[in-house]
A = this chain, B = another copy of it.
Amino acid sequence: MPSPDPAIRDTAERLAAIARGAYERGWTLGTSGNFSAVVGTEPLQLLITPSGADKGTVTGDQMVTIDAQGRPADGAGRPSAETSLHLAIVRARGARAVSHTHSVWSTLLSDASAPAGGLAIEGYEMLKGLRGVTTHAHREWLPVIENTQDWAAEAPRVESLLREQTHVHGLLIRRHGLYTWGSDLDELKRHLEVLEFLLEVVGRRRDGHGGQTWPS
């Protein structure tokens, strides 16, 4: 139970609902993925899904409260192993909510795009669901970073990347999945669905569907 504060409990429930919705679509199978939301800024406090939780049944009560170093504030549950990446995104982008999902399409495209360092997605109306994008002519760049088992060591590099590439709305980890974020939970959910949708479109297009007539 993260807190008796009704606002924090509401955030926990809404975060859990986003996690369950992602599970429903097959983006967080096998207890994969994690979701966080900022609930305090001085000092920084986040709610995050506990490591190993089944995202199909996760509830607000299961959320773990962590501090700016990723330490559990209340001792209940363990924070996710990738906590440091959530914190890096919050610091670099001022994000208030972060998701990490493992979909089939993000797994495939993160690998296919790794040699180029990222994936460009351009010309789709759905791009307008990303914060600040006002036209389908937008070219979104999704950086791909190599996978690692030491995110604590890698997190500063990710934080630097996100401070430099201020226009990106998400990032892919190779053969691993997608990170995205938002200024609130609604924006996070929108970004997650927009990016997963676009990854499926691009993935199916590579499979021979559709024309290749859009300038790229």
Measured CB to CB, the residues of A under 8 A from B are 21, 25-26, 29-32, 54, 56, 102, 104, 107-109, 111-115, 123-126, 129, 134-136, 147, 149, 173, 175-177, 186, 189-191, 193-194, 196-197, 200-201, 203-211, 213-214
CB distance from A181 to the nearest CB of B (A): 14
* Nearest residue, chain B, Cβ from A108: B210
A208-B211 in contact (CB<8A): no
**Assembly CA distance A124 to B189 (angstroms):** 25
Which residues of the partner chain B approach A102 to less than 8 Å between Cβ atoms? 125-126, 197
B125-A54 in contact (CB<8A): no
A209-B213 in contact (CB<8A): no
A111-B204 in contact (CB<8A): no
Which residues of the partner chain B approach A114 to less than 8 Å between Cβ atoms? 211, 213
B108-A214 in contact (CB<8A): no
CB distance from A143 to the nearest CB of B (A): 16
A108-B30 in contact (CB<8A): no
Q: List 26 A-B contacts (CB under 8 A).
A: A21-B56, A25-B26, A29-B126, A29-B194, A29-B196, A30-B193, A30-B194, A31-B193, A32-B194, A102-B126, A104-B197, A107-B124, A107-B201, A109-B210, A111-B211, A111-B213, A112-B210, A112-B211, A114-B211, A123-B175, A124-B175, A124-B176, A125-B173, A125-B176, A135-B149, A203-B210
Which residues of the partner chain B approach A194 to less than 8 Å between Cβ atoms? 29-30, 32
**Assembly CA distance A196 to B26 (angstroms):** 11
8 nearest CB pairs, A to B: A125-B176, A30-B194, A108-B210, A29-B193, A30-B193, A112-B211, A30-B129, A112-B210
